[in-house]
Amino acid sequence: MSDTKTNGRIDVDPVAFADRLLIWYDRHRRAMPWRALPGEAPDPYRVWLSEIMLQQTNVATVVPYFTRFVERWPTVADLAGADLDEVLTAWAGLGYYVRAHSLHKCAQVVAAGRNGGFPVDPAALMTLPGIGPYSAAAIAAIAFGQRAAAVDGNVERVIARVYAVEDPLPGVKARLAALAGDLVPAGRSGDYAQALMDLGATVCTPRNPACTICPLVPWCRGCRQGCAADLPRRAVKAPRPIRHGIAFWIMRRDGAVLLRRRPGEGLLRGMMEIPSTPWRDTAWALEEAALEAPLPLTWRSLPGVVRHPFTHFHLELTLATAKAGVRADVRGVWVPLAKLEEHALPSVMRKVVSHALHRAY
DNA sequence: TACGCGTGGCG
DNA sequence: TCGCCAAGCGT
């Protein structure tokens, strides 16, 4: 037996656990643009940038964004010197846009600091915008070799299975973090953090975990009990309501379309949008919606609906279109069709553009 | 503590 | 098609 039950708690030997995991990691290490090669010193700027982008976001999605960012802004000082709107435009499509605001702010704080570099320990990192408990620990471990437990969704899942924790998330978060903290080895902290996350992403997956090839099987109570795939348990979530709106696709005679910037707080903060009615629980009639339009024009409904799922509601947008004169005076910015990509349009608004272009004529 | 905050992939 | 889930943070 590799573990013993004591006081209802499984006792895992941390040294053997970490050794086995690191051997697996050395064999299966996946190259990623922000990862240093073995023996190479990591770049804290790239580690930080990747960790912010990877918050609730898959590796495959992040890679092209990360590459564009470091090509355009190779150092934290470069990023600090960029305009916020440039950063928002480069971030467009990645989601959770408050991260882009925090990223820019954090770069400015760090670049203006005494040594122009990132702080080294988790507590100091936590004081920076956009860096919470997970990111602070991950950056400290990966960039600076500190012994810190980076506990993300992957690690929570692995730990819940190893210890067969039946209590549901999010209530059990603190306990999982404590268990994870007890297992962090003294050496190779960065490799250990990345190994545990890689294992969660590729072997100890949410559904159909590959227990037959898992290096942690000797210690995994969830696997032995056959309940690994059911863990971690989660509290039931409230159903997402549907909200409705009408978006106004306004084409000027010279071929430009009206965009406007969303407020600096709330959903899609600071991003550009096709103007629309407020998004509410009931559908809009066109005559009623016209009162919310940026200009008093003659509207025509386009067939079809643009659907987009947000975290806490589903949006259904229909489109109304109209033509405006070149002298139309309105709050917003007129953008030629060919230049829409140069603006910070979130995915839902790209869907609106696509829908309008396919249905308008 | 619980909620607001995007998007894409997968079964 | 749909619900779940992802290298979470801020309030």
Which CATH number goes with the domain that contains A17?
1.10.340.30
Residue A165 forms part of a structural domain:
yes
Residues A33 and A117 placed together within one structural domain of the fold: yes
User: What's the pLDDT band for A38 if we cut at 50, 70, 90?
Assistant: confident
Which residues of the protein have their beta carbon within 7 Å of strand C?
Answer: A 32, 50-51, 54-59, 96, 98, 102, 129-136, 138, 152-154, 157, 194, 197-198, 200-201, 206, 234, 237, 309, 311
Which residues of the protein have their beta carbon within 7 Å of strand B?
Answer: A 56-58, 60-61, 93-98, 170-171, 174, 207-208, 238, 266-269, 308-312, 346-348
Residue A151 forms part of a structural domain:
yes
What is the nearest nucleotide to A99, using C1' and CA? Answer: C9
Other Cβ atoms less than 10 A from the Cβ of A321: the count is 19
Interatomic CA distance for residues A136 and A120, integer angstroms: 9
Q: Which one of A199, A230, A261 terminates a domain?
A: A230
Residue A235 forms part of a structural domain:
no
User: What's the pLDDT band for A359 if we cut at 50, 70, 90?
Assistant: confident
Residues A223 and A247 placed together within one structural domain of the fold: no
Residue A243: is its pLDDT beyond 50?
yes
Residues A112 and A257 placed together within one structural domain of the fold: no
Distance A264 CA to C9 C1' (A): 17
Distance A169 CA to B4 C1' (A): 18
Q: pLDDT digits over A200-226, tens only?
A: 999 999 999 999 999 999 999 999 999
What is the nearest nucleotide to A232, using C1' and CA? Answer: C5
What is the nearest nucleotide to A58, using C1' and CA? Answer: C6
Q: How large is the average pLDDT for residues A286-296? A: 96
Residues A190 and A268 placed together within one structural domain of the fold: no
CA-based nearest residue to A319, from A281, A361, A356: A356
Distance A253 CA to B9 C1' (A): 40
CATH number for the domain that contains residue A277: 3.90.79.10
Q: Which one of A198, A230, A262 terminates a domain?
A: A230
pLDDT of residue A4: 43
Residue A236 forms part of a structural domain:
no
Task: Give A39 or A67, the one with higher predicted confidence.
Answer: A67
Q: pLDDT digits over A340-350, tens only?
A: 999 999 999 99
Number of domains in chain A: 2
Residue A329 forms part of a structural domain:
yes
Q: pLDDT digits over A7-34, tens only?
A: 344 579 999 999 999 999 999 999 999 9
Smallest CA–C1' distance to B1, residue: A171
pLDDT of residue A178: 96
Residue A237 forms part of a structural domain:
no
Catalytic residue set of A: 51
pLDDT of residue A360: 67
Residue type, A255: G
What is the nearest nucleotide to A347, using C1' and CA? Answer: B7
A156: containing domain: 3-230
Residue A66 forms part of a structural domain:
yes
Residues A118 and A262 placed together within one structural domain of the fold: no
Residue corresponding to tokens 């495959």: A60
Q: Quick check: A123 and A146 in contact, CB under 8 A?
A: no
Smallest CA–C1' distance to C4, residue: A206
Residues A185 and A251 placed together within one structural domain of the fold: no
Residues A348 and A265 placed together within one structural domain of the fold: yes
Please state whether the predicted TM-score (pTM) of the whole model is above 0.85. Answer: yes
Residues A316 and A186 placed together within one structural domain of the fold: no
Q: Kindly report the average pLDDT of chain A as a whole number.
A: 93
Residues A9 and A97 placed together within one structural domain of the fold: yes
Residue A1: is its pLDDT beyond 70?
no
Distance A99 CA to C3 C1' (A): 26
Interatomic CA distance for residues A225 and A220, integer angstroms: 9
pLDDT of residue A295: 95
What is the nearest nucleotide to A152, using C1' and CA? Answer: C7
Residues A272 and A335 placed together within one structural domain of the fold: yes
Distance A350 CA to C5 C1' (A): 24
User: CA–CA distance from A307 to each of A86, A143, A191, A257, A294 (Å)?
Assistant: 28, 41, 41, 21, 22
Q: Which nucleotides of B are covered by protein (CB under 7 A)?
A: 1-9, 11
Q: Which one of A206, A230, A254 terminates a domain?
A: A230
Smallest CA–C1' distance to C3, residue: A239
Which runs of E-coded beta strand occur in A145-284? Answer: 242-252, 256-261, 272-273
Distance A240 CA to C11 C1' (A): 21
Residue A280 forms part of a structural domain:
yes
